[in-house]
Structure 1
Amino acid sequence: MTQEITLKSLWDDAYAASLDEPGKLLYRSNLLGSDLRITNFGGGNTSAKVMNKDPLSGEDVQVLWVKGSGGDIGSMKLDGFATLYMSKLMQLRAQYRGLDQEDAMVEALGHTIFNLNPRAPSIDTWLHGFVPHAHVDHVHSDAVIAIAACVDQVRLTEEIFGGELGYLPWQRPGIDLGIKLGRMAEENPALKGVVLGQHGLFTWGETAKDCYLLTLEMINRAAVWLDANVKRPVFGGEKVPALAADARRATARRLMPLIRGRISQGAHMVGHFTDAPEVLEFVNSHSLSDLTPMGTSCPDHFLRTKIKPLVVPADADAAALDALIAGYRADYAAYYDRCKRPNSPAMRDPNAVIYLVPGVGMISFAKDKATARVSAEFYVNAINVMRGASGVSRYQGLPEQEAFDIEYWLLEEAKLKRLPKPKSMAGRVAFITGGAGGIGSASAERLLREGCNVVLADIDQTALDEVVSGFGKRYGRDMVRGVVMDVTSEAAVIAAVEYTVGEYGGLDVVVNNAGITSAAAVEDTTLAMWSRTMDILSTGYFLVGREGYRVLKAQGLGGSMVFVSSKNGVAASPGASAYCTAKAAEIHLARCMALEGAPMGIRVNVVNPDAVLRGSKIWKGEWSEQRAASNKIAVSELEEHYRKRSLLQRSVFPEDIAEAVCFFASDLSAKSTGNFLNVDAGNAVSFTR
């Protein structure tokens, strides 16, 4: 068991030898941040005191390189470090007189910046700058925080670390805590680091490698001790049995749109579900009801997860969720009223972030997928802390007032206000069929640019994987998913929409775009051709539309459905009776759904393209050859032929259709339903009338 819970050194001496001191700091930081057992995403700090040439005087000066505000040590680059003159930091230390100066001192950090570095220093800068050692690590190790969250944390720190680590009680990070930490290190030169109550671990060393290895050593010591001394069964054992895996996922998919609809009135939220073993162990345990109200201990944990989670029964229906969510909001408002200061920011969103479902797992909601996922990871950290602490002692969270003062800290509020304005479709979720084709992928890119999460469905696995991979690199993997789906299969459509809900918590936009073409004179149209065309273009649109509609209705947030039909849906063409009929059916289906969806704010509109050749799968092969033969021209002349045929003498591209799709998907068309928009560069026979 010890072999499984201890961390192994990943330090490569040969690689490190090729790096300068800032490079070694980055290397160390990335190694530490690569393992969530060492620190959570965005949590912890690393630093090094480095001799650099002053750009003004040319003299060698000591500079503190420390992780900047808002960074993540696991993924940061060299530009993620703030750089500050050590001499000026020490001058600020000498000027400090008391706690009422704390926030002002943060502003004064701007006067210590080295080399006009634009990276803002974090509040933890003080805790690194005043430690009289060249290299300092601060991490949020679950094992160490478990010790720091016990009621007898002082005794346990001494017992486990044998005086090699000091102890400082909980205090909000700032210059005052930095001075105390530095003084403890100065007065106790044998110390290798400090445990901060409820917070985490500080270690230091004279080289980057020494500091890295010491951090691992202290985390391993805590982990081994906890494992050897923990009371079993953990969390008092199982109270609720876990449902089967399929049942867990089905329950989450049922609950997520219902919760999302109730918490997204102010801004659309995106969901994440996990039934990881440690989550199930906690949500199914006897200790769940005792531990969840106590909140988390580490400040980083509750900044991401709120003061406490909401427990939701697996069988909760709409009425039960109404009561549970209303009760949580009232409880949060009471917490705010109890703890607010005269200058506290206004109360923020009172809804829970974490939803614990016994027998099922954990659901989290935030304004974007990445934050929802990371919030879940943070609560897993909190679970690990509660497991360790309650297994060897009695767990204690941060005092309520201290938690509030962190959550509503004016400096934290200022950081929130500096965040960029959300994009127009942030928090929305779109499902697009035919997603690997020209129009589908162009529509996806257009929605992604507006901050929308996108699930692409396509029957072509290879093409789908390529498109999704490209979008993931450009917009982030959390923003896009792909699912293989045949629109003619009811089971496949249901599964794909369920997958979308499971990945993002709900649905806001359905783009019915999958298509084929068929061309033949009426007398040459076989039943097989007719049926296949109808199955994909008519029945397929019905199945996707129906399943998307069901989610939108259950969610109660309204939504938009966009059908990509064709000029041929309103203007018949000879030699394509099956295609024209199916496209007309799409338009009329959209109108019928617009009638039924209007009372619930579900809008259904149609985009009619014409002759979109570039990137189109349906224009490859037989269809192009048939159209070219019918017009007595070469296939290579088709695009020019259609351009000249249009009233505006312009070609129509996938990006043009994507603009129309985005218009109907977004709030720009909030007062439009049952409409169709031609994007054909002008074609008199398809004018609306």
Structure 2
Amino acid sequence: MHSTETNSKATNDDVAALIARSNRLGSDPKNTNYAGGNTSAKGTDLDPVTGEEVELLWVKGSGGDLGTLQPKGLAALRLDRLRALEGVYPGVEHEDEMVAAFDYCLHGKGGAAPSIDTAMHALVEQPHVDHLHPDAGIAIATAADGEELTRRIYGEQVVWVPWRRPGFQLGLDIRDIQRANPGAIGCVLGGHGITAWGSTSDEAEANSLWIIRTAEAFLAEHGSAEPFGAPLEGFGPLPEAERRERAAQLAAHVRGIASLDRPMVGHFTDADVVLDFLAHDAHPRLAALGTSCPDHFLRTKVKPLVLDLPADAPLERAVERLRELHQAYRADYAAYYDAHATDDSPAMRGADPAIVLVPGVGMFSFGKDKQTARVAGEFYINAINVMRGAESVSTYTPISDAEKFRIEYWSLEEAKLQRMPKPRSHAGRVALITGAASGIGKAIATRLAADGACVVIADLELEKAQAAAAELGSTDVAIGVQCDVTKAEQVQAAVDATVLAFGGVDLVVNNAGLSLSRSLLETSEADWDLQHDVMAKGSFLVSRAAARALIDQGMGGDIVYISSKNAVFAGPNNIAYSATKADQAHQVRLLAAELGQHGVRVNGINPDGVVRGSGIFAGGWGASRAEVYGVKEEELGKYYAGRTLLGLEVLPENVANAVSVLTGPDLSHTTGLHVPVDSGVAAAFLR
């Protein structure tokens, strides 16, 4: 028996090698898609009860990503107990029951939950196993003559395994094929992907890469030059600027289509691979066949919605046709569900498309959040690559709709969905906030992002906007855009950037502002115009541009004005600022009356004296107001607090909290309201 110290070192080495191999394989999209595939290693550790060595399997757990895998993402299981499950295996009709049995094979506490592929890794009689979803490998796996191609490409080194849904029986199938072919280094799984193995971690990785690169080389050498058929006249890519403009015009309409059953966040790409696919005459046939690899269609749905008009079709006709196709898509999906559902199938989860393809423009993909939407798009690009490879040497033949349904509505998948945490209050919503690189706007952006929203920070200075967005997380959470709200073209560009980044817009906060503290006689015409251009005109321009997108979506939404207690309170030396705040306050009432028919709520917030973190106060306004009130500038916040009923200083976070509540689910029936956030200024009571 090894000493505890020696055995622990061996265990750590095994795990470290597995993690390093997984990260290398998973970081290259040619090898596998995001969160796709799994890897494993077998080794020994000491049983803490008996002190004896036991054989273990470390395998990537359910839901993890190979490229970013860490030790905590592994499941550690007793190999002897896993293999003993064969003796109690009730047969393929009941193999889902085996997943629960994995819990009785775990070694210690912690780690990830074992995935459905655990049996494959345990039953293969090699110490190191990789299961991957490379585009080139799936191209062979989905070819009509995939088995023959596998023999032609690999000889006896790689063996064909007919399609079987992942599970215990697939593990037994691969184990038996491995035993019957002792010289094989791996297999091609029909309709699915590849599995490779080796006696060492390095050998398994080398075998995986050899299988993938050999498939790539074969397709490159023997594939036809035009696997997607002949070019379709009028379906080629629009020029880039025109393409992006059309995408922005369509985005809100498309998001509304994808969100009929439940709100979705979107992602847009005009990648060359998508545009090329849509520019050729085979794309309608191939798209209708759907994807094949389970990892793909679980995120993309079984097939996309494809606009069947040329790229230069009039916008109105494209929108009309998309709506017609949407109705047909929903009917087709319902028929697919009805054809394959059984009495114990989960309820239909929704009949809207996750992928919408627009020739000449690109692809819109959708999900519950930005990452899910982006990954769905990446997976459909994987699917296009698979179709290209299969069609170049054979005929693309994915698994049947019946088998897709068995995956999509699998009880294990349903259980995984039911375990998902309850979504946050603003999950699935997209917020555009002006003047959000600092102060109140930044606090609002921070709060809405924490509530689950995707956030676009618009500000005069792009670098500051991008820096503020980066503080909130990746571009899946927030982006920064430059916007001078006094210029209509920049406002429209900000709205376009929002809908292209996240699919649409749901929540707009008019927060951009400035203030000039001057008496009537000291206020110049230029002062008056600047004050009104930024806040009165700027709010109007932002609301107008956003309202177009909100109406196109047909999903309702929110517009919030950050006004001021000065909208109703008359103070000295403040005519330009207070007058424009009164203008904003009445815009709230006017727009609430006009946009209510579209389900758009319009509300306002009236803060007072938000000194800390405020760009306005830091820019000279604070000094001016302190002089008016005869206090030191550093004591201005305390002065404002002292004149309120509650005696509390108002902070940017207090305003952000009000925005969150106003736009959340609890005030869904409220519009035209002004909410004071001023700690109680009696003179500013609304009446």
Assess same fold via TM > 0.5: yes
Matched, 1:213 2:206: yes
* Whole-Å separation in 2 of the counterparts to 1:172 and 1:18: 32
Mapped partners of 1:291, 1:554: distance in 2: 30
Aligned with residue 127 of structure 1, among 120, 124, 128: 120
1:386 aligns with 2:381: no
The letter of the residue matching 1:452 is A
- Corresponding position: 1:153 with 2:154: no
Match of 1:665 among 663, 666, 671: 663
Which amino acid in the other structure matches residue 284 of structure 2? S
The equivalent of 2:176 in structure 1 is: 183
Within 5 Å, which residues of 2 pair with 1:415-430?
415-430=416-431
- Note if contact 1:433-1:458 (Cα within 8 Å) is conserved in structure 2: yes
Structure 2 residue aligned with 1:377 = 378
* 1:97–1:680 Cα change, 3 Å: closer
Deviations for 1:291-342, whole angstroms, at most 9, x for unmatched residues? Answer: 1111112111111111111111354444322221110010111111111123
Aligned ranges 1:583-598 → 2 under 5 Å: 583-598=581-596
Work out the CA distance in 2 between the residues paired with 1:667 and 1:305: 29
Aligned counterpart, 2:3:
none
Partner AA of 1:405 in structure 2: R
- Counterpart for residue 403 of structure 1: 404
For the residues of structure 2 that align with 1:603 and 1:299, how far apart are their CA atoms?
A: 41
- Match 2:21 to one of 4, 16, 28: 28
Instruction: Determine which of 674, 677, 680 is the counterpart of 2:678.
Output: 680
Aligned to 1:12: none
Give the aligned partner of residue 552 of structure 2: 554
State the SS of the aligned residue for 1:548: helix
Letter in 2 for 1:132: E
* Whole-angstrom CA distance in 1 between matches of 2:400 and 2:566: 67
The offset of 1:369, in angstroms, is: 1.1
- Partners of 1:266 and 1:101 lie apart in 2 by 33
- Given that residues 267 and 427 in structure 1 are in contact (C-alpha distance below 8 angstroms), is that contact kept between their aligned partners in structure 2? no
Name which of structure 1's ranges 369-378 and 453-462 shifts more when overlaid on structure 2. 453-462
Provide the C-alpha distance between the structure 2 equivalents of 1:362 and 1:64, rounded to a whole number of angstroms. Answer: 41
Give the structure 2 partner of residue 464 of structure 1: 465
**What is the CA-CA distance between 1:652 and the residue it aligns to?**
0.6
Q: What residue number does 2:536 align with?
A: 538
1:284 offset after TM fit, Å? 1.1
- Structure 1 distance, partners of 2:371, 2:589, is 36
1:271 lines up with 2:301 in the alignment? no
Task: Classify the secondary structure of the residue corresponding to 2:671.
Answer: coil
Which of 296, 299, 306 is residue 304 of structure 1 equivalent to? 299
SS in 2 for 1:236: coil
2:569 is paired with a residue of what secondary structure? coil
- 1:55 deviation in Å? 2.5
Paired with 1:59 and 1:18, the residues of 2 have a C-alpha distance of: 14
**Partner of residue 573 from structure 2, selected from 536, 555, 575:** 575
Question: Does residue 280 of structure 2 align to residue 288 of structure 1?
Answer: no
Q: Distance in 1 between matches of 2:488 and 2:361?
A: 27
Please state whether the residue corresponding to 1:522 is helix, strand or coil. coil
Flag the 1:640–1:513 CA change in 2: closer, same or farther, 3 A. same
Q: Equivalent residue of 1:620, what SS?
A: helix
Count of matched residue positions in the alignment of Structure 1 and Structure 2? 671
Give the partner amino acid of 1:435: A
Contact 2:236 2:278 in 1 (8 A): no
- Listed one character per residue, the Cα deviations across residues 390-419 of structure 1 (whole Å, up to 9, x for unaligned) are 011111011111111111111111111111
1:640 and 1:347 map into 2 onto residues whose CA distance is 57
Aligned-partner residue type, residue 443 of structure 1: I
* 3-state SS of paired residue (2:356): strand
Instruction: Tell me if structure 1 keeps the 8 A contact 2:470–2:479.
Output: no
The more displaced of 384-393 and 265-274 is 265-274
Structure 2 counterparts to residues 166-565 of structure 1, below 5 A: 166-239=159-232, 240-312=235-307, 313=309, 314=311, 315=313, 316-472=317-473, 476-565=474-563
Paired-residue identity, %:
46
Whole-Å Cα distance in 1 between the matches of residues 90 and 642 of structure 2? 79
Structure-1 separation of matches of 2:623 and 2:385: 63
AA aligned to 1:497 is V
CA distance in 2 between partners of 1:382 and 1:491 (Å)? 38
Alpha carbons 2:563, 2:604 under 8 Å: kept: yes
- Separation in 2, partners of 1:599, 1:182: 63
Summarize deviations over 1:249-269 as a string: whole Å, max 9, x none: 222222221122233233211
SS at match of 2:558: strand
Q: Which amino acid aligns with 2:191?
A: Q
Once the two structures are superposed, residues 478-515 of structure 1 have per-residue CA deviations (whole angstroms, 9 ceiling, x without a partner) of 02111011111111101000110111111111100011
TM-score normalised to structure 2 length: 0.96
Alignment of 1:32-111 (within 5 A): 32-111=25-104
CA distance in 2, matches of 1:621, 1:484: 20
Cα-Cα RMSD = 1.6
How far, CA to CA, are the matches of 1:458 and 1:517 in structure 2?
Answer: 16
Paired with 2:10 and 2:245, the residues of 1 have a C-alpha distance of 52
- By how many angstroms is 1:17 displaced? 12
**CA distance in structure 2 between the partners assigned to 1:257 and 1:452 by the alignment:** 17
User: Structure 1 residues 231-240 or 574-583, which shifts more?
Assistant: 231-240
**Structure-1 separation of matches of 2:133 and 2:258:** 30
Q: Which runs of 4+ in 1 moved over 3 A?
A: 16-19, 313-319
Distance in 2 separating the partners of 1:649 and 1:266: 47
CA separation in 2, counterparts of 1:30 and 1:65?
15
- Note the alpha carbon deviations across 1:525-582, whole angstroms, 9 max, x for none: 1122111111111111111111111111121111110000111111121111111111
Q: Report SS of the residue matched to 1:511.
A: strand
1:648 aligns with 2:646: yes
> Is the 1:453–1:479 contact (alpha carbons within 8 Å) kept by the matching residues of 2?
yes
- Secondary structure of 1:243's counterpart equals coil
SS in 2 for 1:178: helix
Q: Is the 8 A contact 1:145 1:198 kept in 2?
A: yes
Q: TM-score, normalised by structure 1?
A: 0.95
Are 1:55 and 1:115, in contact at CA under 8 Å, matched by a contact in 2? no
1:241-282 Cα distance to aligned partner (Å, 9 max, x none) = 211112222222222211222332332111111111111111
Deviation at 1:212, TM superposition (A): 1.3
SS in 2 for 1:74: helix
- How far apart are the structure 2 equivalents of 1:137 and 1:635? 65
Partner amino acid, structure 1, of 2:23: N
C-alpha displacement of 1:19: 6.8
Cα-to-partner distance string for 1:355-380 (whole Å, 9 max, x where unaligned): 11111111112221111110011111
Contact 1:272 1:502 in 2 (8 A): yes
Partner of 1:4: none
- Counterpart of 1:5 in structure 2 is none
- 2-structure distance, mates of 1:452, 1:127: 39
**Contact 1:446 1:662 (C-alpha < 8 Å) held by counterparts:** yes
Deviates more, 1:367-376 or 1:664-673: 664-673
> Conserved in 2, the CA contact under 8 Å of 1:42 and 1:72?
yes
Alignment-mate amino acid for residue 483 of structure 2: M
Match of 2:6 in 1: none
**What amino acid does structure 1 have at the position aligned with 2:82?**
L
- 1:118 is displaced (CA, Å) by 4.7
SS of 1:486's equivalent?
A: coil
SS at match of 1:237: coil
Asked if structure 1 preserves the Cα contact closer than 8 Å seen for 2:236 and 2:276, the reply is no
SS at match of 2:333: helix
8 Å Cα contact 1:610/1:652 also seen in 2: yes
